[in-house]
Every structure is written in C-alpha cells, then in structure tokens.
Amino acid sequence: MAERIATIASRVGLHARPASIFAEAAAEQPVEVTIALEGEAPEEALDASSILSLMGLGAEHGTKVVLRAEGDGADAALDALVAILETDHDAE
C-alpha cells in the first residue's frame, strides 16, 4: 500500500473550497484513496473523495494527514493529491 504524508497549506484548513477541490481530484483517481490525521490507525481512515468526510476530519492549516492507496497508479495518484493539499487554495 502506498502512503504519503501531507501538510494542509490552505489558511482555512481542509474546509469549503479546498475540500471540494481535493475531493473532486480524489474521485478522479484510478484508485481508492483514504485520508486520516497523522497518528490515527489506518482503520480510522476516511474516503478521500467524500467532501463530508473531509470536512469532518477537522484538518486545520498546518495539520499533517496521511493519504493511502493501493493498486496500479497509487503512487502517482498520491503524489498528485499531496500537491493539492500542500497548495494554499485560499491565496488564489
């Protein structure tokens, strides 16, 4: 299973617009992606393509999250999603 750690860059955290951008990108990936706060058990991970799950995660600016995926294309998918999380979408 591929795994990446990302730091939330958006000033408002993973809420509203940043969560929507991320959920849409996660849904477009060829593999299922999960997200969890750093330090949480893998079993506690949530569906990264669900905006409700993302907003319920409570990830604020500077929070570290763990993305996981398995299968063909998992590494590329996670790399693309990390780039989205580590971009301040509120500055655009």
Tell me the two tokens of residue 53: 């799950």
Tell me the two tokens of residue 13: 């955290």
pLDDT on residue 92: 62
pLDDT on residue 8: 97
Question: Pick from 38, 89, 43: which is nearest to 59 by CA?
Answer: 38
Q: In what order do the strands lie in the sheet with 33-37?
A: 2-7, 64-69, 33-37, 46-47
Mean pLDDT by groups of 10 residues along the chain of 92 residues:
97 92 98 97 96 94 97 97 94 70
Ramachandran category for residue 58: left, alpha or beta (phi over 0 → left; psi -120 to 50 → alpha): left
SS3 66: strand
pLDDT on residue 90: 79
pLDDT on residue 16: 86
Is residue 15 part of the annotated active site? The answer reads yes
Given 15, 51, 57, 89, which residue is catalytic?
15
Q: Report the alpha-carbon distance of residue 40 to residue 43 in Å, rounded.
A: 8
Domains of the chain: 2-91 (3.30.1340.10)
**pTM of the predicted structure, to 2 decimals:** 0.95
